[in-house]
Amino acid sequence: MTEHRIVQVGVNGYGRLHLEAIAREQAEGRALLVAAVDPQPNGFAAAPVYDTLQEALVQHVADVVSIATPIGTHAPLATLALDSGADVLLEKPPTASLREFRTLLSVVERTGRAVQVGFQALGSDGVGLLRSALADGLVGANPRVVAWGEWSRSVGYYARSRWAGHRVLDGARVADGVVTNPLAHAVSAALAVAGCTREDHVRSVSTELYRVHDIATDDTAWVDVDTTLGVPVQAALTLCAPTGGAEPSPSVALIGDRGSVTFRYTDDEVEYRVEGEPARTERVGRRALLANLLDHRDTGATLLVPLADTGAFMCVLEASQTSPEPTAVGPAHVHWSGDGADRRPELEGVTTAVAAAVRRGVPFSATGVPWATAAPTAWRP
């Protein structure tokens, strides 16, 4: 069994999940964490720690570089890793701009190395079940793919780092926002269900963006993707939902005139509600992205999320980041609760608006909620 030498870039925040994945593979004898990179390792001591990836690669040979760092750093770090001869596990979104994405794709082609992008939901068998349902015509005529997510994020969520809640920081694109970061998995999974993965699968992207928090990017958004494949993809997303009870799993649904098939991706559940058939829900399995990348290295197994297959998502990112600035929602439409860093907004009628947008396939401005005063902005490649 091959023991793949791994360098982990970023050991805090989401990097901890990357470290857990490496530990699982190390326990199986498939991986060895040879170094970590983080200027603030906070006591991490499981491997030698370096301030920069360049320093780590001078001291260690890496077969895989795993990157969990701020979005704006992804492209240069991945390029450095690829040029060193390593394959890369790259946290989502892969880059902060479509221009950087195209450049990184050219590096992949030049080096012949692999980049697996960290859209974990695409490792779930739920995506394949919805794709099969679409191919089989299970939901009938006029199919469309919709995604929705209703999460709540506190003031502290946006205070956790300098780049959080920004489109641009210090003159560089960082591309944070509900569409591109916390609920990006919903968007990417919806695109994958429709088979819309590559940049040339996208005709246009319409976005309608709002902000409730005191930030420079979107925390509530509508997205509508016109694809070359004949199946539209739409998403209604918010980080300003009511806070009572457990946080609901974001969902992706295939909807047609005979019913729907819904994938709740944080629960790995698929629910069938199709005319003439009994309603049913089934649990599905999930494949880990690092394990799949190591399989690719060992046996040539197909990558679950190769960089090229995130091109359609990058079109959505570019549309959301270059559209007019999100419309600020007036305080009359927001109820705040909690104190200090845990203070959270609840946007008036947002749950109803999300449901109506998904059901009718329309932007928030067409659902009747008083705060939705913007109009969709169209972006084309």
pLDDT at 334: 98
**Which region holds residue 170: left if phi is over 0, alpha if psi is between -120 and 50, else beta?**
left
pLDDT at 352: 97
pLDDT at 359: 96
3-state secondary structure of 132: helix
Distance CA(144)–CA(28), nearest Å, equals 41
pLDDT at 1: 72
Report all structural domains of the chain as residue ranges with CATH numbers, in order of start.
4-120 (3.40.50.720), 125-287+306-379 (3.30.360.10)
pLDDT at 242: 94
**Measured between alpha carbons, how far apart are the two ends of the chain, in Å?**
44
CB atoms near residue 72 (< 10 Å): 21
The DSSP code for 40 is: -
Q: Counting every residue, how long is the chain?
A: 381
Is the whole model's pTM more than 0.85, yes or no?
Answer: yes
pLDDT at 368: 96
Find where tokens 């003439």 sit: 276
Contact 169, 346 (CB under 8 A): no
pLDDT means per 10 residues in the chain (381 residues)? 94 94 96 96 92 98 97 97 98 98 98 98 97 97 97 95 93 96 97 98 98 97 97 98 86 97 97 96 97 98 98 98 97 96 96 97 97 96 90
Distance CA(71)–CA(12), nearest Å, equals 14
Encoded tokens for 292: 């799949």
Distance CA(39)–CA(346), nearest Å, equals 36
Distance CA(114)–CA(297), nearest Å, equals 9
